[in-house]
Amino acid sequence: MTISERVAGLPPYLFADIERKIEERRRAGADVISLGIGDPDLPTPPHIVTALTAAAADASTHQYPSNRGELGFREAVATFYGHRFGVALDPADQVVPLLGAKEGIAHICQVVLNPGDVALAADPGYPVYTTGPMLADGVAVSLPLKAELGFQPDLEAIDGDTLAKAKMVFVSYPNNPTGAVIEDDFFARLVAFARAHDVVVVHDNAYADITYGDYVAPSFLATPGASDVGVEVLSLSKSYNMTGWRVGAIVGNRELVDAYWRLKTNIDSGMFAAVQRAGVAALSGSQQCVRDMCKVYERRRDLLVHALRSVGIEATPPKGTIYLWVAVPDGYTSASFTQQVLEQADVVITPGAAYGPSGEGYVRLSLTVPDERLKEAVQRIEERVRL
């Protein structure tokens, strides 16, 4: 039997090594707390669950859905974009539902790339910015995000050869893993860059509403000209604690959205209509649940920042996302520091290098564990971690 080079060449699953180490510690009797994976611990708000239950009992949802998505879902996405971001979207041809943002990120590469074309991938970044292009026979080229530039890529620094082959660029703000947000004209510069080099922008908006204090994250599509050059990928996973439900949408440029839909008709048969109706409940209902959840994360963020500082590790509280991105102390690599925290405190954190070469020197801590477990993790870090 032969496995394709395309699949054989994929890097190992990001968390495989971490899961193995957790298993080893657990087998040795340790009570391991994982701040590794960003999967919200809180339940989906009840009004969304109720909408699903009612829709699932309606036999009209039981047949194949349309790949275009129910009109009600597309309208809810468009209305949400209008209210929330001030972006006008036509539900007829600028919105297609996704089985999660991950699906959109992986498959958009097949819409844009020919073999050998380059995708510029934010580094550190969500791993599918690299594996998506690989699966489309493209080449992912790292677009380093450096602390000194606020974890924005230096678009001027991309070399001419790479630019000549570049067909798309992946960015995401609020940013996983760095927690960086956009507070300047970066999106306008990105539109100008995309126009100048005929590059498609894919803005991954997975953390749009996970923000703290007064900060409100913009949509890339609110930037003048953005819909001419790109698409945005919306996810309901984090805003509404719906990671298991697999709901998102790809929105923006008509030609890309239409091509995406044509691709998708050959890959899956759409999203369960009952889930789409639950998605409508999420997007059209009160957004108080989102604000309440951000308060929970904000409290956890501050607890963790305090604990890290008390052991001599400087941490900047992020304005968005569910992660702390922390430089490792002198003398450590991201892997050796992760290892030490696991051994001394039985707390799992993620090595930054797992998100790309520019993540070396950092670790990522997730805020998605219940308060009591987080407090326990914090106490262990304070009492047991010795640098």
Per-position DSSP letters for 323-374, written without gaps between them: EEEEEPPTT--HHHHHHHHHHHH-EE-EEGGGG-GGGTTEEEEE--S-HHHH
Residue closer to ligand PLP by CB (options 100, 279) is: 100
* CB of residue 174 to ligand PLP, shortest distance in Å: 9
- How far apart, in Å, do the first and last CA atoms of the chain sit? 49
Residue closer to ligand PLP by CB (options 61, 350) is: 350
Residue closer to ligand PLP by CB (options 132, 138) is: 132
Strand partners, 82: none
Residue pair 362/333 in contact by the 8 Å Cβ criterion: no
Region of residue 141 (phi > 0: left; psi between -120 and 50: alpha; otherwise: beta): beta
* CB of residue 238 to ligand PLP, shortest distance in Å: 7
Residue closer to ligand PLP by CB (options 136, 345) is: 136
Which residues make Cβ contacts (< 8 Å) with residue 197, sequence separation at least 6? 163, 166
Residue nearest to ligand PLP (CB): 100
- Separation of CA 15 from chain center: 15
* CB of residue 260 to ligand PLP, shortest distance in Å: 15
Side-by-side strand order, sheet with 95-98 = 95-98, 248-252, 230-235, 200-205, 166-171, 118-123, 139-144
* CB of residue 107 to ligand PLP, shortest distance in Å: 12
- Separation of CA 378 from chain center: 25
Q: Which amino acid is at 223?
A: T
From 212, 214, 215, 230, select the one nearest 172 (Cα to Cα). 230
Can you tell me the distance from the alpha carbon of 190 to that of 181, in angstroms, rounded to the nearest whole number?
15
Positions touching ligand PLP (CB under 6 A) are: 38, 100-102, 126, 172, 176, 204, 206, 235, 237, 243, 248
Residue closer to ligand PLP by CB (options 248, 352) is: 248
Residue closer to ligand PLP by CB (options 70, 103) is: 103
* CB of residue 224 to ligand PLP, shortest distance in Å: 25
Residue pair 231/250 in contact by the 8 Å Cβ criterion: yes
* CB of residue 1 to ligand PLP, shortest distance in Å: 30
Residue closer to ligand PLP by CB (options 313, 365) is: 365
* CB of residue 150 to ligand PLP, shortest distance in Å: 17
Backbone phi, psi, residue 49, to 5° = -65, -40
Residue closer to ligand PLP by CB (options 55, 101) is: 101
Place of tokens 């091509």: 259
* CB of residue 100 to ligand PLP, shortest distance in Å: 3
